[in-house]
Structures are given as C-alpha cells and as structure tokens.
Amino acid sequence: MSPTPKSAETRAKVLDAALGMLREQGYEATTMRAIATRAGVSTGNAYYYFPSKDHLVQELYVDVQRAHRCAVDDALRQGGTLAERLRLVLDAGIDVFTPYHSFGAEFVSVAIRPDAAANPFSDASREARELSLAIFEDVVAGASPAVPAALRAQLPELLWLAHLGVTLFWVQDSSSGTARTRRLVAGASPIVGTLVRLSRLPVARKVVDDVLRLTASLRT
C-alpha cells in the first residue's frame, strides 16, 4: 500500500528535522524526542517512521552520497585519466563531508558496529553504498586511457573501499583544513593510476589476478 500524502509529509518532516539536527550537533546530542519536537510530531510518531537513530544516520548517508554525486557529475563528463578522476571524486567527497567533521568520530563509532543499520556493509546501507559505488563505476568507465578489461568489473569496489579508508583518515585529521587528508588524496591518486597502468604488463598480471580473486572470495 502506498503511503498517504499526510503520511509522506509527516515522514518528510521527521527526516528533515533529523538531518538538520545531525548536521548541527552530531549523533550523541541528537535524540528522537528532540527530533520529534522539532518536527512537530509525537515521539511515537517519529519512531513509527524511523525505528532508531541509526536509521536516521543511514538517511543522512544517502543524503551525503546524493550531494557527492551532484558535486562530481559535470566534471566526470569531461573525461580525464583514472588518477585525475579519482582525485576529483575523493576531493569532492571531503568537501561534501566537511560540515560533519567535528562529529565524524561519533558517526564512525555508530557505523563500525557490525549490527548497525549505518554500517556501510549492511543490507540497510544498500542504497547509500550503491550510490557511492556508482560514482566509482563512472570514474573507471570514463577514464582515458581505458582501464584494462580484467580490472574494470572489480576496480570500482576497490576504489570505494579506498574511499572508506580516506574517510577514516579524514575523521581523525586535525590539521588545518584537513590538509593532511588532501595530501593523502593528491599523493595516492597518481599511485593508483600508475599501478593500474602497470597491471597491463605480463609480469604484473598474476599479482592482479591474485588480488581480484582475494577480493571476490571476501564477498562470500
């Protein structure tokens, strides 16, 4: 059964209030009662649409991934090498995440729990994960020169995992303007590009195959 217009409106109010409070004051200071008060609904109503704060954090992740996509779409259409495109996307991710930096550790502490809805590998995180993976699929698909065929299918996921690693580094980066994370991105992107180019060489193919087999085995 489709939600009624009033039900959809109430859900949207709760979500808007929650996203605003998570941006303003982080995870710990945001309560379901406060969200309900800001949204102008009962606490029970807020729980009806979102069973826990973790589910609201998941909605925040979806919102952030949509913003990330909007930030890179035009530039990715312009082409570029794999290294250039990867750096563009990783830098844009930092830009999009910046408003949440002071609360980053809180969000990581939630997401790192294996049973959390906000865990990036959970079923509940599928939408946010697929939105992010799609960005890295575009990074690979539009790269010039083309990424070797043997890598094209799995490289987006490997880049997404690297993106998670960059995000963890960014969370604990206390340098001005998170300059150390920017240096990491600037230095790592061309290294990735070089490694992918080297994968064309016969001497590197076995190593590449081993990495791809290992990655595939970890999915099961």
Pick the most confident of 22-26, 89-93, 95-99, 116-120.
89-93
pLDDT the model gives residue 1: 47
Average pLDDT over residues 83-91: 98
> Helix H segments across 77-154?
82-97, 104-111, 126-141, 149-152
2/81 same-domain check:
no
Give the model confidence (pLDDT) of 39-70 as tens digits.
999 999 999 999 888 888 888 889 999 999 99
Q: CATH number for the domain including 112?
A: 1.10.357.10
38/137 same-domain check:
no
CA distance 159 to 192: 9
Sign of the four-CA dihedral 145, 130, 211, 194:
positive
Task: Give the DSSP H or E segment for 171.
Answer: helix 155-171
198, 86 Cβ separation under 8 angstroms:
no
How much is the pTM? 0.86
If one counts every other C-beta atom within 10 angstroms of the C-beta of residue 159, the result is 23
Gap between the terminal Cα atoms of the chain: 35
76/169 same-domain check:
yes
| Structure token digits, residue 90 | 């990783």
71/179 same-domain check:
yes
pLDDT the model gives residue 3: 63
Give the model confidence (pLDDT) of 155-199 as tens digits.
999 999 999 999 999 999 999 999 999 999 999 999 999 999 988
Structural domain count, the chain: 2
CA distance 14 to 121: 25
pLDDT the model gives residue 200: 84
Angle at the Cα of 27 from the Cα atoms of 38 and 161, rounded to 5 degrees: 130
Give the model confidence (pLDDT) of 13-42 as tens digits.
999 999 889 888 888 889 999 999 999 999
Q: CATH number for the domain including 15?
A: 1.10.10.60
Residue 159 φ/ψ, nearest 5 degrees = -70, -35
